[in-house]
Chain A
Amino acid sequence: VGGEPVNVVLRRVGQLAIVLFVVTVLTTLLFSLLPGDLAEVSIPFGSDEQRAALREDLGLNEPLPVQYGRWLGHFVKGDLGDFYRQGNVTSVRERVKATAPVSLELMLYAQILALAFAIPLGIFTARRAGSLPDKSINTTAYGLLAVPEFVLGLILAYVVGVELKWLPPQGFVRWNVDLGEHLRSMVLPAVSLAIGQVAVYMRLLRTDLVATLQQDFILMAKSKGISERRVMWRHALRPSSLTLLTAAGLNVGTLIGGTIIIERVFNLDGMGHLIFEAINERQIAALQSLIALVAAGYVVVNFLVDILYAVLDPRIRRA
C-alpha cells in the first residue's frame, strides 16, 4: 500500500489488465479442451459449408495463440459471436443488449433495497447494543446468512406470488412498457437478492458504529449539545461509509452469481438466462464471449470500487 495516488491507479490498471488476460486465456484454453469439433457441437444441424465457415471464423484450424488473438480481436470490436438455432442465427451482441439492462436493473434495485434496510437497522441495533431487540435482530440476521437467495426467492414466490397473489410470481415487464408493472415484477427478485446483503451490511455497520460511538470526537460532539440524531447521522455514520463501500465492492461477485440464479428462478430475461440458454444449447462460442463479458464486468467493478475507495479515504490518499 502507498505511493502517489497516480501510482496506485496505475498499479491497479496493470493488475486489471493481467486479470482480464488470464481470464480470457483460461476460457479459450478451456473451450479448446472440449471433446469433439466445436463447429459440429455448435451447429449440428448446419451444412458442411456453414461449419467450415464457422471454423474459419473462429480460427479453429489455427494454433491456439492465433485462435485467442482472433477471438480477442472480435471481442474488443464488440463482436461476441452468434447464437445458432435451426433456421435462424442471432448475434450474441443483440441478445446482450436486450438482456444486460435487466440484470443491471435487478442488481441496482437489490443494492438500493439492501442499503435502505441495512443502514437504519444498523443504527437501531448499534444504539441499543446488547438489548433484546438488538439480540433478536442479530440472531435473525445470522439465520438469514444460511438461507441461499434462491431458496428465499422460491419461498417468496410461492407465498407472496402463488398463495397470496399479491405480486406476479414470475416473469418480467420492461420499465418503458409499464413502469408500475415493471416495479411489481422486480420486487420479489430484488428482495430475495437483497435480504442476504441486508444481513451482511447491517452487521458490519453495527460493529463499526459501536466502535465509533466510543470515540472521543463523539463525546465531544455530544458535549457541544448537538442532538443525538445529528451526531449519529453526521458524525458517527460518516467513517462507516467507507466500510460499507468496501463491503459493497467485495459483494459484487456474490451479487453477480446471485443475479444469474435469481433470473432463472423468476424467469427474467437477463444475462443469467442467456448464459443458461448457451449452456443448455451448447452454444460454445457464445458462451465463451458471455463468460469473458461477465468476468470483465466483475473485475472492472472491483477495480472501480478500489479506486473510489482510494479517492474517498484521505488516509489512503495520503499514505
Chain B
Amino acid sequence: VPDADRTDTGIALEQPMHGGEHNVSVATNAAVVAATLPSAIGGVDVARSKRLGIMGWFAMVWLGLVVLMALVPGLFPVTDLHSRSLDAITNDSFGPSLAHPLGLDVSGYDLLTRIVYGARASLLVSVGAIVFAMLIGGTLGLIAGYFRGIIDTILTGILNILLAMPFLVLALAFVAVLATGDNVSYAKRVSVVLLSVGIASIPPLARITRANTLAWSEREFVLAARLQGAKNRRIIWRDVLPNVMPAMFSIALLGIGLIIIIEGGLALLGAGVPATIDTPSWGNILASMSPQLFLGKPWGVFAASLAIFLTVLSLNYLGDVVRARFDVRESVL
C-alpha cells in the first residue's frame, strides 16, 4: 500500500490532544489524511452506507468473477491461450465481435481469453504482496502499539524513514537488479515483483495497525483481561487483534487495488510480469498493446483498462463499506 502513508486512519492518536489550538491542527491533519482515502468523499453517501447496496453487490459479484477467473479460467467462454485467429490479421479486423467480445490483439489472440487468464498473475502479485505485508507489518504494528515505550519509538522511527522513500523507484530498482536479463525464470521474476511491492507496503500497514492497536489496548476489557492475569500474547491475540482486523482489512482491500494499478505501471516500464503468450497479466496486456493504440488498434488497452478499473473500483468500494460497517474511523478517534 505504497500511498497509504496518507491513509493512516488513526493519525490523530499519535499526538496527544492538548489545548484547543492544538486540536485544530490535529484535526486538519486527520482530515487531510482522510480525504485522500476513497471513502472520505466527505460525509457524502457515496460509500458511507453500512449496507452493501446495489453498488456493493456489483462489487462483490465482479470480484467473485475475478477470483473465479484466477482459479478456474476454464469456466469462462475462453479459447486456448495459443489459438490465434489468422482471419483477423488477413482482414485487418481486430474489433469486438460475437466470437470475440473484447476483440483481438494484433497477433490475433482473443482478448477475453487473455484477460481471463491474466487475472491470475494480477491477483497473485497484488494479493500475495498484501498478505505478505499484513503478516509482517501487522505484527510490527501490534507489537509497537501494544508494548509502546522504547520498542515503539524504534519501530516508529524506522517506519517513518521507510515511509519517506520513493516506493515506485525502489521497486523498479529491485526488479531491475534482481530479475532482469535473459535467463530469469517467470517464477523468479514474479516473486521479485511480488516481494518488492510487498516490502513497500509494510510501513503503511504497520502504521495503521499500530494506531489502531494504541486505541484498542487502552480499553477497559484489555485492562480487565490483564487484571485477570492473562498473558500479553493472549491479550493481543484474543482482545486486541480481532478489533484491529477491520481497519487492517479495509486498508488491505484498498492496497490490493493500488497494487493492481502498480503492476500495470511496472509493466509499462518493462519491470512487471513478463509478457509472453503463456503468462498474461492485466498490466502486461496493457503495456504490450499500448503501442498498437497509437496505430488505431486500441482494443487490447481498452480490455485491460476495463478489467483494472472495475476491479479497483470494487475494491475501493468494499474497503469503504468495511470501514463504515465497523466504524473504523469513529472507533479510533
Contacts and interface: CB of A to CB of B under 8 A. Distances in A.
B166 A151 contact: no
B172 A138 contact: no
A261 B265 contact: yes
Contacts of B32: 204, 243, 246-247, 250
Contact of A315 (B24, B269, B286): B24
Contacts of B44: 129-130, 134-135, 138
B41 A291 contact: no
A interface bracket (residues with beta carbon within 8 Å of B):
35 or more
Given A200-B35, A250-B5, A145 B316 contact: yes
Contact of B181 (A148, A242, A282): A282
A219 interface: no
Interface residues of B, number: 64
A27 B173 contact: yes
A319 B165 contact: no
A313 B177 CA distance: 43
B268 A264 contact: yes
Contact of B286 (A146, A151, A204): A151
Interface in A113-157: 129-130, 134-135, 138-139, 141-143, 145-148, 150-151, 154-155, 157
A203 B42 contact: yes
Interface string B40-72: 111110110000000000000000000000000
Interface of A: 1, 15, 18-19, 22-23, 26-27, 30-31, 33-34, 129-130, 134-135, 138-139, 141-143, 145-148, 150-151, 154-155, 157-158, 161-162, 169-170, 200, 203-204, 206-208, 210-211, 242-243, 246-247, 250, 253-254, 256-257, 260-261, 264-265, 272, 275-276, 278-280, 282, 284, 287, 291, 294-295, 298-299, 302, 313, 315-316, 318-319
10 contacts: A146-B38, A150-B264, A154-B293, A162-B293, A206-B42, A207-B42, A253-B166, A260-B169, A315-B24, A319-B22
Pairs A-B, 10 closest by C-beta atoms: A204-B35, A257-B168, A146-B313, A207-B42, A146-B312, A298-B166, A148-B261, A151-B305, A279-B176, A19-B164
